[in-house]
Amino acid sequence: MSLNIDAAVLAQNRTPFYYYDMDLLKSTINEIKTCIADKPVKVHYAIKANGESRILKTICNAGFGADCVSGGEIKAAVNAGFAPGSIFYAGVGKTDDEIRLGLELGIGCFNVESIEELQVISEIAEQMHNVAPVALRVNPNIDAHTHHYITTGLEENKFGIDMTALPAAIDFIKSNTSIKLRGLHFHIGSQITINEPFELLCRRINALTNDLYKQGVELEFINVGGGIGVDYDEPDANPISDFRGFFSTILKGLNLLPGQEIHCEPGRSLVAQCGSLISKVLYVKKGIGRKFAIIDAGMTDLIRPALYQARHRIDKLGNNNCPVERYDVVGPVCESSDVFGINEELPELQRGDYVALRTAGAYGSSMASTYNMRQVPGAVFSE
């Protein structure tokens, strides 16, 4: 399938804007539901990937839960219709007010990332005469073979609890009546395109949970996190991620006890391919030895290329029956890193042409800023 936007939609909307293919989002949701049908699996959408209210409501209506990393995301989840009990709250820096918000709403779980955080949650819960449901996020020391900025499961990391510190956290929970341990939480990284890291994760989890079981520690669920990658190079050829491979690996690899569930947190893999950033060519500048296509979208609208050196496929929309040229595709922001592509092969571009930065539905609009006092791009939906 290829991106096809009606000319009237382009003409009626000020660029840059995000365009969301809602049929593709629903097909992706259905693929996940098919993979987990009749399986002890619960899915929590990681809202940080994209918090557009229409997208949240669509995912909520599918019966998924929400994975949040701030009080603002918790409120957005509730406003979109997610039941408080289906909301899990992760993040290394939960504030006191955010913890109180979660307890007042009765969210399903706090994914705790340090013993220090565990102590604070217990104190606040005790003050509120409440019991905080928690899962301990454990770092299994697994290399996810992804960009170092989005690798999160190594033993020395701002995220999670080192495995050597886990016994102390367990002892603290056992001695505290204001905390209830529900499960363990893992997340080894993002944009993982092979299943071997997940196989290794399962082996590490099995060894750990076996030891805890011998100690009398009961767990309702094992949360394996997310990290399923998407195809940034060929979004039309692979519009839906390999959920079958992921879920097959996890279901075969984990040794669940009777009644235990598997939880996971797809974010990018749910929404990335359904979104594109639509931009207009402002100028085609001829340099000494290259051409620059200066577009009206910038790093303020899609920061991943500047932040992670990420590459998004760039497509020209409309008439492509023209010679192919090479361009450096750049934005208008006053930063040298405001670059989307170097030496990109595209059908000849002229001022006023439209281009699409593909696979931008995740970590695009949710990371947009008003730097240079630019406007945050709007959203257009295919429905």
The boundaries of every CATH 2.40.37.10 domain in the chain are: 275-381
Q: What fold does the segment set 275-381 form as a domain?
A: Lyase, Ornithine Decarboxylase; Chain A, domain 1 (2.40.37)
- Whether domain 22-271 has CATH 3.20.20.10: the reply is yes
Model confidence at 157, pLDDT cuts 50, 70, 90, reads: low
Cβ(191)–Cβ(151) under 8 Å?
Answer: no
- Higher pLDDT pick, 148 / 101: 101
Give me 300's structure tokens: 């303020």
Amino acid residing at 10: L
- Percent of the chain whose predicted confidence (pLDDT) is above 90: 91
Residue 154 confidence (pLDDT) above 50: no
Give me 297's structure tokens: 């979208």
Bridge partner list, 18? 277, 379
- Tell me the mean pLDDT in the region 259-271: 97
The boundaries of every CATH 3.20.20.10 domain in the chain are: 22-271
Bridge partner list, 112? 136
Model confidence at 168, pLDDT cuts 50, 70, 90, reads: very high
Give me 204's structure tokens: 């590490």
pLDDT at 98: 98
- Percent of the chain whose predicted confidence (pLDDT) is above 70: 96
pTM beyond cutoff 0.85:
yes
pLDDT at 151: 47
User: What's the CA gap between 304 and 37, in Å, rounded?
Assistant: 34
pLDDT at 142: 82
Residue 146 confidence (pLDDT) above 80: no
- Higher pLDDT pick, 3 / 340: 340
Q: Residue 207 CA to chain centroid, in angstroms?
A: 28
pLDDT at 156: 56
- Tell me the mean pLDDT in the region 84-105: 97
Contacts of 190 (CB under 8 A, 6+ apart): 144, 146, 150, 152, 226, 227, 229, 268
pLDDT digits (tens, 9 = 90+) for 358-381: 999 999 999 999 999 999 999 999
User: What's the CA gap between 38 and 81, in Å, rounded?
Assistant: 24
* Number of residues assigned to the chain: 383
Model confidence at 163, pLDDT cuts 50, 70, 90, reads: confident
Q: Phi and psi at residue 226, in whole multiples of 5°?
A: -130, -135
Residue from 2, 16, 9 nearest 300 by CA: 16
Give me 202's structure tokens: 């399962």
Q: What is the mean pLDDT of the chain?
A: 94
pLDDT at 158: 76
HEC per residue, the chain: CCCCCCHHHHHHCCCCEEEECHHHHHHHHHHHHHHHCCCCEEEEEEHHHCCCHHHHHHHHHCCCEEEECCHHHHHHHHHHCCCHHHEEECCCCCCHHHHHHHHHHCCCEEEECCHHHHHHHHHHHHHCCCCEEEEEEEECCCCCCCCHHHECCCCCCCCCEEHHHHHHHHHHHHCCCCEEEEEEECCCECCECCCHHHHHHHHHHHHHHHHHHHCCCCCCEEECCCCECCCCCCCCCCCCCCHHHHHHHHHHHCCCCCCCEEEECCCHHHHCCCEEEEEEEEEEEECCCCEEEEECCCCCCCCHHHHHCCCCCEEECCCCCCCEEEEEEECCCCCCCCEEEEEEEEECCCCCCEEEECCCCCCCHHHCCCHHHCCCCEEEECC
pLDDT digits (tens, 9 = 90+) for 200-239: 999 999 999 999 999 999 999 999 999 999 999 999 999 9
User: What's the CA gap between 8 and 62, in Å, rounded?
Assistant: 31
C-alpha distances in angstroms, 294 versus 124, 314, 329, 331? 52, 13, 6, 6
User: What's the CA gap between 143 and 153, in Å, rounded?
Assistant: 7
User: What's the CA gap between 3 and 1, in Å, rounded?
Assistant: 7
